[in-house]
Structures are given as C-alpha cells and as structure tokens.
Amino acid sequence: MSERAAAPEADDGLDYSVQAESPAREAWRMFRRNKAAVGGLILLGLIVAMALLAPIVYPADPYEIVWAPQTPPGEEGFLLGTDYLGRDIVVGLVYGSRATLAVGGAAALITIFIGVLVGALAGYYRGWVEEVLMRITEFFQVLPPLLLAMVLVLLFSPSLVTIAIAIGIVSWTSTARLARAEFLRIRELEYVKGARAIGSRNRRIIWLVILPNAAPPLIVSAALAVGVAILFEAGLSFLELNDPNVMSWGYMIGSNRPYILEAWWAVTFPGIAIFLTVLSVSLIGDGLNDALNPKLRQR
C-alpha cells in the first residue's frame, strides 16, 4: 500500500526543478544581451576607476607647469601635449574626471530627489496639490535652463556645490512629470487599493508601495540625468562660470578656448572625454530602459 500511496514522478518531459526567475535577475539578463549597454557600462566603469584611483596610480598636480606652453601631442614625451600654460593635458584629464563626475552625480541626485518628490505628491494626492505642484513645474519648465543655471551660479560663489545645486534645480521638471504619470497609473491598481483598505497611511503607500513599482522608468531617468548634468557643467565652465581652483574637463575647455586655433588639442581631448562619458551614460540608460520595461522584453 505504501508503494501505491507514493505518487510516481511524472515523466512528461517537463522540468519541474526550474524556478521562477527573480525580476532583478531577469533585468540583468536582459541588460547583458544589449552589447552596446554593456560596452557603455565597461567604459563608464573605466572612467570612474580612473577618477577614484588617480592619486594612487598617477600622483601628479594638474596645475603644475611641466613644459613649454602649447606643446603638440607626442612631442617631448607628452602624449596629449600641454595647454596654454604648459600643463600636462593627460594629468588634467585624469584629475578633471573627479570633479566632472562628482558634479554629474550630485546634480543627478538633486534632480531625481526634487522630481520624484514633486511628481509623487502630485500624482497621489491630485486635486489642489496636483494643481499647485504642476503649475510650479510648468513655471520652471518654460524658463531657459542654462540661463537660469547661470543666474543661480552668479548669485553665489562659483563652486562645485553651487554648480551641482544649480543644475539640479533647473533639470528636475521632466522627472517630476514622469513620476506623476507613473503614480497616476499605479494608484488605481488593486494592490494599492488593498493597502489603502487595510488602513495603511498615505506616507507608507507612497514610498513603500507605489514608488518601488514606479522605479524602473525613474532609474532610467536618473541615468540620463547624469549625462545632462555633465553637459551642463561643461557649458557653465565654457562660459567661465566655474571654480578655477578645481580642475574639470569643462574648465580645461573654457580656459583653453581663446587658444583653440593655436592649440586645438587642449580643447579637443577634454571634449572627447566628455563625449565618451555622456555616450556611455546614454548607452546604459537605453539598456536599462530595455531591461526594466516589460513591454520591450519581447522585442
């Protein structure tokens, strides 16, 4: 009877040992399939590693005058030449990456914080809260972002902190509209209604129930915000609205701008560095969009 009671294993050709793949694993698997996104991640990883390890691997002073001004690339042992003061371009690129990435990351965090806060409150509460917050968003959206950032930097002393805050203040509107749209969609779903029915507070529903499910498009927006912030920093530095005591790629372009015809390399190589960094961030953003968007996984 024990032999009959024991149910034999079904031999129907199906593998019952396979377990459902977690969303994070599935997203990572989809991201790895995107070769361009993986290439962007590797490139950005190399740039970040260069910025973090610069004092250890390549100890030098980016402001030190090491040779004659405007030495062409490859001459006198300088791979990328020197600038108008005789500073090594390679050293400037290595140490300038630290300030450029720091401003980009900090400005992106400020952008996402303000955008998600405004969009979440507007999309969840609706009514007069939504009306007020969206009017504020539209006010900032119609203002020229670069001009507003210039005014904010000029009102205070130009520094990395001031530049990062100014960029974050002028760049949050698109994130706010995206967050609002996601919250408007998710707030009407059954599990949100269930959380509300069992007595969960609005604060818990907003940050612990809706926000995690609205995160995928916001993560993509955060990745792209880094590239936008880096371009903003370069633009402000090009207009000499930067901290002259901190080396950055934008500062290198701005300070060598008057000598572009005599020493093109002093402007070109920092520009290429900015281009590659923004390109890598954009590729990562596209890969995250494909990996985190369920509608795009079937392509």
Pairwise CA distance, residues 277 & 3, whole Å: 66
Domain that holds residue 240: 55-296
Average pLDDT over residues 45-74: 90
Mean pLDDT score, 112-119: 94
Confidence class for position 58, pLDDT limits 50, 70, 90: confident
Q: Which pLDDT score is estimated for 95?
A: 92
Secondary structure, 3-state, 217-268? HHHHHHHHHHHHHHHHHHHHHHCCCCCCCCCCHHHHHHHHHHHCCCCCHHHH
- How much is the pLDDT for 21? 62
Q: How confident is the model at residue 20 (pLDDT cuts 50, 70, 90)?
A: low
Q: For helices 23-33 and 35-57, give the axis angle rounded to 10 degrees.
A: 90
Q: What are the angstrom distances between the C-alpha of 45 and each of 51, 104, 160, 161, 164?
A: 10, 15, 22, 24, 22
Residue 137 lies inside a defined structural domain of this protein? yes
Residue 5 has pLDDT above 70, yes or no: no
Residue 69's CATH number: 1.10.3720.10
For residue 17, the model assigns a pLDDT of: 43
Where does the pLDDT of residue 296 fall: very low under 50, low under 70, confident under 90, or very high at 90 and above? low
pLDDT of residue 129: 92
Residue at 50 is within a domain: no
Domain-embedded: residue 207: yes
- Using alpha carbons, select from 276, 120, 288 the residue that is nearest to residue 205: 120
How many angstroms separate the CA atoms of 293 and 285, rounded? Answer: 12
Question: What was the pLDDT predicted at 1?
Answer: 43
Position with higher pLDDT, 261 vs 18: 261
Residue recorded with tokens 């079904």: 10
Task: Indicate if the pLDDT at residue 288 is higher than 90.
Answer: no
Extract the runs of DSSP E, i.e. beta strands, from the chain: none
Q: What residues pair up with 65 in beta bridges, in sequence order? A: 87
Can you give the pTM of this predicted structure? Answer: 0.84
Residue 224's nearest CA partner among 282, 291, 290 is: 282
Residue from 133, 167, 176 nearest 235 by CA: 167
SS3 labels along 103-139: HHHHHHHHHHHHHHHHHHHHHHHCHHHHHHHHHHHHH
The pLDDT of residue 262 is above 60: yes
- CA separation for the pair 127, 160 (Å, rounded): 38
Residue 280 pLDDT exceeds 60: yes
pLDDT at 297: 53
Is residue 19 over pLDDT 80?
no
The answer to the question of residue 41 being in a domain is: no
Helix (H) or strand (E) segment spanning residue 48: helix 35-57
204 inside domain: yes
| Rounded-to-integer distance, Cα 206 and Cα 129, Å | 15
Distance CA 258, CA 243 (A): 18
- The helix (H) or strand (E) run that includes residue 181 is helix 173-186
Number of domains present in the structure of the chain: 1
Mean local confidence (pLDDT), 132-155: 90
Q: Is residue 145 part of a domain?
A: yes
**Is residue 188, in this structure, part of any structural domain at all?**
yes
- Confirm whether 142 is domain-assigned: yes
